[in-house]
Homo-oligomer: A and B are copies of this chain.
């Protein structure tokens, strides 16, 4: 099987690649090659040393002719301009998210027209499709049939691409599936400008012995997914039979619903009060307003039917982070303490 991952040098794309290489198979077939296409070359040396891995750096739209000089059996389309980029540059967002996805779908369609089996196409959508339209506020619990009313260009693009993936699938041009990823925490690496950044940074920096800030009230409800749970969800959706996936509408991946306070409590449990003491509480009204607009509770029977489960609690999420990134965790935090009575 020859697999293309767009956004393959990014955090989730690389993690998905590593998981695929470790499994060695996708949908029951051995993996022959894995192409990581991204704006930049993958930085993970362990990944690029694998003889099955190739990479191509550059704008995805421009790369498509090169990429589709060969045939793909599966495409994981993770590449996307992010929310802040789309808000800052309307045309860039349309090109990177809509036009590029359309061109990628058409490249896949040409493969099918040439007589090959429709490519297995995973589209990475986002919980950002949900926003509160004044006329149609979100329900307290978002279900599989909740109407998305995106309130950002990024959310609009994701929702539009879901529709295109569904129609290309209906027509038999691809075997497409779209899943909405939750906010991923704990992301490794450095702080970024995303409104959701603190949901990783608030934990990641103290675990490394660095100060961080929580810009929202402690009782703010949020919905999260660890990197491992997110990648497991992507693969389960990609490998599901069409019958098990059910229809062609995007599904919501599972979410751990909790309050920001619960995240900090888990940090105390996991790394001690000295780590939690590194978290400042400088409020940021703009961030608080954005985060308050995100849905925080989900009922996702379609994900459950695929056997998908949310992370059990945030302590498990922190444990996963420490195991995956031992170098990013300072010694005291690297030794999980016995859980104190709450």
Contacts and interface: CB of A to CB of B under 8 A. Distances in A.
Interface of A: 90, 94, 102, 133-136, 144-151, 153, 156, 159-160, 163-164, 166-167, 170-171, 173, 245-249, 302
Given A90-B171, A171-B90, A150 B135 contact: no
Given A144-B136, A156-B164, A167-B156, A149 B247 contact: yes
A268 to B, nearest CB: 40
B171 A136 contact: no
Given A134-B246, A135-B246, A135-B302, A171 B147 contact: no
Contacts of A163: 150, 156, 159-160
A247 B136 contact: yes
Nearest to A245: B135
Contacts of A160: 160, 163-164
A160 to B, nearest CB: 5
Contacts of A171: 90, 153
Contacts of A247: 133-136, 149
Nearest to A91: B106
Given A133-B247, A160-B163, A246-B134, A147 B150 contact: no
Which 9 residue pairs are nearest across A and B when measured between Cβ atoms? A135-B246, A135-B247, A133-B247, A156-B167, A134-B247, A147-B147, A145-B147, A160-B160, A156-B163
29 contacts: A90-B171, A133-B248, A134-B246, A134-B247, A135-B144, A135-B245, A135-B246, A135-B249, A135-B302, A136-B144, A136-B247, A136-B249, A147-B249, A149-B166, A149-B247, A149-B249, A150-B163, A150-B166, A150-B167, A151-B170, A153-B167, A153-B171, A156-B163, A156-B164, A156-B166, A156-B167, A160-B160, A160-B163, A160-B164
A319 to B, nearest CB: 34
Contacts of A90: 171, 173
A40 to B, nearest CB: 28
A144 to B, nearest CB: 6
A245 B240 CA distance: 41
B133 A249 contact: yes
A148 B145 CA distance: 9
Contacts of A164: 156, 160
Contacts of A150: 163, 166-167
A177 to B, nearest CB: 11
A133 B170 CA distance: 11
A158 to B, nearest CB: 10
A91 to B, nearest CB: 9
Nearest to A149: B249
A133 to B, nearest CB: 4
Contacts of A147: 145-148, 249
A299 to B, nearest CB: 13
